[in-house]
Amino acid sequence: MDGIYLDNAATSYPKASGVSSAMKYYIDEIGASINRSTYSSASETGMTALSLRERACRIFNFDDPTHVIITSGATIGLNMVINAYLKDGGHVIISPLEHNAVMRPLNLLEKQHSNHTEFKTYFNEFPYTLGIDGSYDSLSDLIGADTKAVIMLHSSNVSGEIFDINKIGSICKENGIDFILDAAQTAGHYPIDFFKSGISALIVPGHKGLMGPQGIGLIMMEKDFAKRLSPFICGGTGSASESEFMPEFMPDKFEAGTPNIPGIYGLEKALEFIENTGVNTLYKHTDMLYKRFITGLYNLKLQDRIKILGKEERDNSGVISLDFTGLDNALICRELACRYRIFTRCGLHCAPRAHKTLGSGLRGSIRFSFGYYNTPDEIDYAVKAVGDLITV
């Protein structure tokens, strides 16, 4: 790509070393499906899928590869969990920064259940300032007799703010409710410990911080949670074919249809890169770039012209959104791309609730999101470009 790619919150680029070669190898040399036959190439696909599940266990400190479910991405993963989990309604708690991959399923369920007398789906959001002063009482206060879960993102795709999931998970465990976590913006480049955080279901995409291809993702489910959850998508699994019902055993219970096997090969190779490099190494690099960009913006001394969205007191996943006061964000974004070859994302980022919370409303913002392959020189160039554009 001829330019500086700062849109890693949408999808990482470049991908991890070896991803494209692994996918090409599968397409050109293997071609077989999973669970459908026992000849050698079909067996290899199954072993690659198993390796992918085992690598995910090691990266997220999870204990059972059979409970690592392969999906087509985080959106379908969230829909699979939310729709099955709330089929009989219930109360859940969300963050005030949620992505539409959580909000749209919840709103649809709330609407579908609105005429039912025996069950309802409804939700409340905890205060935006949760944990800033060290207090989590405002979350505990929302938990009632019919509260089933906290369903939330780990980090905002708009502001990059990271919530303390260890504290939130502990509150969930104390109150006997589930903790369903959308880690789209942290998986791969911010440490996540499944059991330390008290997570019931962890949903991740392959194409962001995990540096794999699009069209594939994972769900990690705690064993008791998986037993309580019904399949949302049903079909062939290549197993228990004598039955017209989905298997009860894992992961087949939640893996209907032919999976994205080129994606499995690509993501397995990406997770190998993550393991070999280290999640902490990836985080330290991204955090360094984030802090360099923030410092550069403040050094411009143009705080009256640039609004940085979010709370800087929180950890950050390498995402900064800017609202250019008195200017058209879309035009600034276009100038960054056309004049400076800096590629960002402008708009509402599929998260209108977050923009409302952060004060940018329907104006949206320009999002700069950093990845492992970005360099300090690229960050400095981006800061200079911002300064040039708003001081003309």
Q: How far apart are CA 378 and CA 189, in angstroms?
A: 19
Residue recorded with tokens 């554009």: 389
pLDDT at 41: 86
Tens of pLDDT, residue by residue over 203-233, are 999 999 999 999 999 999 999 999 999 999 9
Question: Is residue 144 a contact partner of residue 159, using CB atoms and an 8 Å limit?
Answer: no
**Residue 207 CA to chain centroid, in angstroms?**
9
Question: 250 pairs with which residues across the strands?
Answer: none
Is residue 381 within 8 Å of residue 340, measured between CB atoms? Answer: yes
**Burial class for 326, CB neighbours closer than 10 Å (0-12, 13-18, 19+):** exposed
CB atoms within 10 A of CB 36: 16
User: Residue ranges per domain, the chain?
Assistant: 4-14+279-391, 19-277
pLDDT of residue 302: 85
pLDDT at 392: 64
For 313-329, the pLDDT digits (tens) are: 999 999 999 999 989 99
CATH of 4-14+279-391, one of 3.90.1150.10, 3.40.50.720, 3.30.470.20, 3.40.50.920: 3.90.1150.10
Neighbours of 88 (CB within 10 A): 12
Give the architecture-level CATH label for domain 19-277.
Answer: 3-Layer(aba) Sandwich (3.40)
Query: Given this chain, do its domains 4-14+279-391 and 19-277 carry the same CATH topology?
Result: no
CB-based contact 251:231 (threshold 8 Å): no
Rounded Cα–Cα distance for residues 11 and 68 (Å): 22
pTM: 0.97
pLDDT tens digits, the chain, 392 residues: what are they? 799 999 999 999 999 999 999 999 999 999 899 888 888 888 999 999 999 999 999 999 999 999 999 999 999 999 999 999 999 999 999 999 999 999 999 999 999 998 877 789 999 999 999 999 999 999 999 999 999 999 999 999 999 999 999 999 999 999 999 999 999 999 999 999 999 999 999 999 999 999 999 999 999 999 999 999 999 999 999 999 999 999 999 999 999 999 999 999 999 999 999 999 999 999 999 999 999 999 999 999 988 899 999 999 999 999 999 999 989 999 999 999 999 999 999 999 999 999 999 999 999 999 999 999 999 999 999 999 999 999 86
Identify whether the C-beta of residue 293 lies closer than 8 Å to the C-beta of residue 160. no
For 114-132, b/e burial (b = at least 16 CB within 10 A) is: eeeeeebbebebbebebbe
Backbone angles phi, psi at 106, to 5 degrees: -65, -45
Distance CA 184, CA 13 (A): 15
Distance CA 36, CA 239 (A): 8
The C-alpha angle 18, 201, 268, rounded to 5 degrees, equals 10
